Structure 1
Amino acid sequence: MGGSQAAVPRYSQIVDELRQRIEAGELSPGDRVPSTREITKQWGVAMATATKVLTELRREGLVRVVPGVGTVVESRPSRPVRATRPTAAAASRPGGPSSDASPAAPSDASAGTSSGAASGTSADASLPTASAQASLTTGRIVAAAVTIADAEGLAAVSMRRVAADLGMAPMSLYRHVADKDDLLTRMMDTVIANDPLPADPPAGWRPAIELAARQLWSVFRRHPWLGPAVSVTRPQTITSAMAYSEWMLDTLHSHGLDLQSAFTAHLMLLNYARGIAFNLEAEQEAEAHSGLDSEEWMDAQGPALLTVLTPGRFPALSRLATTGYDLDLDALFEFGLQRLLDGLAPLLSEGSGD
């Protein structure tokens, strides 16, 4: 029973298939291997399973991550690949290749020892050199995590995955970041800091608020994971985001709102942008699982929707369904922003916001 196909985890089967393609030369050094989203489409597995596939290929030294390109076949495998194939029992136990190690977890050390013994080399041969360890910085760790989150979603980010992409042991990351929560806070701080507000705000409360709101929306746009990651009820300590809060408070308070009302207005605008941004990562995941973009998915739902609307219970929706509606999140954001600012205008000293 232990050797049956059913006992082999699905991710191990996909790893075997990709390993064979690499060994056969179908995928040459430098060629891109399927991304996690492509794996979910091609093999019909969940995103977590697809992430395990790439993590295991990186662990075996078969592939590496190239920023801006993706995961590519490594030119020189760091050790024999077949000897490191995990058994079904090893893959399914806690602390296996997919689990996220904590600082005190012994799984990384034991995994390194077992893989070294299996490949006929010492465990130390696969460990990063002292110079590589010395070159590891907080900035490199955060940048690698942001790259993963941008490409595959926040769920793909783990200490183990980031370490694999950097070619480091997971334990080495904990010298720079306390845990995954600390890493996430640093990720958010970094991407927001990359878009600093100007030193001098434009004249008038409305242009100043529009500038900050649009700039924050653009950050959400570039990093789809950011909207769901930011908490309004349990705010993280994000220094770069405090600059946005200060900008909003200073602008609104200097034009007539008390600080309490100014902060409420700031939270309203932040949560508005964040609420629309929630759709960005959700759409990426839905497209990866279905293989259809939003327009293709809507086209596929059209006949069923029209059947429901035909009896005439919803005449306005029926007309809209037949004429069509082009959902543009940027246009949706801008429309709502202007209506929110229209609502604030009577509370502020400049009224029209000139």
Structure 2
Amino acid sequence: MTKTTDTVGDPPYLRIVAAIRRRISDGELAPGDRVPSTRQIAGEWGVALATATKALTTLRLEGLVVARPRIGTVVAGTAPAAPPRRRPSPVPDPEQELSLDRIVRTAIDIADTEGLSALSMRGVAARLGVSAMSPYRYVPSKDDLILLMADTAFGEESYPANAPEEWRSRIELGARTLWTLYRKHPWLAQIGSLTRPLLVPNLMVHGEWVLRALDGHGLDPTKLFDIHVLLYSHVQGLAVHLEMEAHAAAATGQSEDQWMDSRTPALQELVESGRFPTFTKVVGAFEDGYDLRLDALFEFGLKALLDGLTSIVEGQEVAT
């Protein structure tokens, strides 16, 4: 008979630890299987990301789970063995294999899967299986690491040597390339602002592409750069919500639709107040509610911006 322990009075993180420990002991999670990430834990148990992180840390300290680079946190133990080799290779030393590139790539993987708020130098070290201070031999601080992460992520997309001839096509390609990167790495939009921009080379590559598309049309430098900033703000401004929604979903345990459903009484109160007749009319026209589609909004806004900028860039008035 399996002995169970009452965890009702324990802190939330210990109840999570007990539940995952039980899954491991019951065989639901086998050696090598991935355990829930911090975001998954936050969503499943309805706790904050910090609590979820504390639970995973406790499981690591107990030796029940280990961090695997590019994989995540998995159940400790021996996975199904491969056929023995005649000359087995020695087990590599994580400290000797450590490099700046591995640190940066591991940090990106953590930010991609668990959010930028879950990133720490200690967490990167744990994922790599090295001592907590080892990453500091390669990068001085978390802030410096984030800059390296951003530069690496922005460098994952490039542009063709033969650029489209028409300025609008070039800008569309540049904007969609940035949007693709923000979609791939939602945290990217959180680490720079228009007033304090990221000065990393691989982000400058994208800026240079847009500036070259606008150059040569007789625009004075201020107007040219204003257009560049406006276009970038459209992409980055929408992309900010990608990471915010992922964080909110993890923290509340509710999807976007579930959250909106839970706010139905508040919405109904606004509609029935009679103070917002246009809002009431528009909202009432939706059969199944308004579907917020960031990809569609990105394309719609890009087209509207470029339509409006055409007369400025090409130096002619739009026909009325």
Taking structure 1 as the reference length, the TM-score comes to: 0.76
Partner Cα distance (1:344, 1:314) in 2: 33
Matched residue, 2:182: 220
Q: Give RMSD over aligned pairs.
A: 2.7
Cα offsets for 1:285-343 (capped at 9, x unmatched):
12122322212322332343123212433232223323232211011111111222223
Question: Contact (CA 8 Å) 1:287, 1:294: kept in 2 or not?
Answer: yes
Partner Cα distance (1:314, 1:182) in 2: 48
Matched residue, 2:309: 344
Partner Cα distance (2:70, 2:139) in 1: 24
Matched residue, 1:44: 46
> Is 2:239 the counterpart of 1:277?
yes
User: What secondary structure sits across from 1:225 in the alignment?
Assistant: helix
Matched residue, 1:329: 294
* Alpha-carbon distance change, 17 to 310 in structure 1, aligned in 2, over 3 angstroms: closer
Gaps of 5+ in 1: 78-128
Question: Contact (CA 8 Å) 1:58, 1:64: kept in 2 or not?
Answer: yes
Matched residue, 1:266: 228
Matched residue, 2:56: 54
Partner Cα distance (2:127, 2:278) in 1: 52
Which 4+ residue blocks in structure 1 deviate beyond 6 angstroms?
A: 5-8
Cα offsets for 1:37-93 (capped at 9, x unmatched):
22223333211111122233234432234567542212259xxxxxxxxxxxxxxxx
What is the Cα deviation at residue 217 of structure 1? Answer: 1.0
User: What secondary structure sits across from 2:215 in the alignment?
Assistant: helix
Equivalent residues in 2 for 1:298-313, closer than 5 Å: 298-313=260-275
What is the Cα deviation at residue 24 of structure 1? Answer: 4.8
Question: Contact (CA 8 Å) 2:151, 2:203: kept in 1 or not?
Answer: yes
What is the Cα deviation at residue 213 of structure 1? Answer: 0.7
* Alpha-carbon distance change, 74 to 318 in structure 1, aligned in 2, over 3 angstroms: same
Question: Contact (CA 8 Å) 2:44, 2:253: kept in 1 or not?
Answer: no
Letter in 1 for 2:305: L
Matched residue, 2:65: 63
Identify the range of structure 1 (195-204 vs 181-190) with the bigger mean alpha-carbon deviation: 195-204
Partner Cα distance (1:236, 1:279) in 2: 19
Partner Cα distance (2:168, 2:246) in 1: 33
Letter in 1 for 2:136: Y
Letter in 1 for 2:291: D
Matched residue, 1:15: 17
> Is 2:249 the counterpart of 1:287?
yes
Partner Cα distance (1:183, 1:202) in 2: 35
Which residue, 263, 267, 279 being the options, matches 1:317?
Answer: 279
Equivalent residues in 2 for 1:186-205, closer than 5 Å: 186-205=148-167
Cα offsets for 1:212-236 (capped at 9, x unmatched):
0111011111111110112332233
- Identity percentage over the alignment? 48
Greater relative CO, 1 or 2 (CA 8 Å, sep 6+): 2
Matched residue, 2:146: 184
Identify the range of structure 1 (344-353 vs 55-64) with the bigger mean alpha-carbon deviation: 344-353
Partner Cα distance (2:43, 2:313) in 1: 51
Identify the range of structure 1 (257-266 vs 169-178) with the bigger mean alpha-carbon deviation: 257-266
Letter in 1 for 2:128: L
What is the Cα deviation at residue 9 of structure 1? Answer: 5.5
Letter in 2 for 1:196: S
Partner Cα distance (2:30, 2:105) in 1: 27
> Is 2:104 the counterpart of 1:142?
yes
Letter in 2 for 1:242: M
Gaps of 5+ in 2: 1-6, 80-90
Across the two proteins, how many residue pairs are aligned to each other? 298
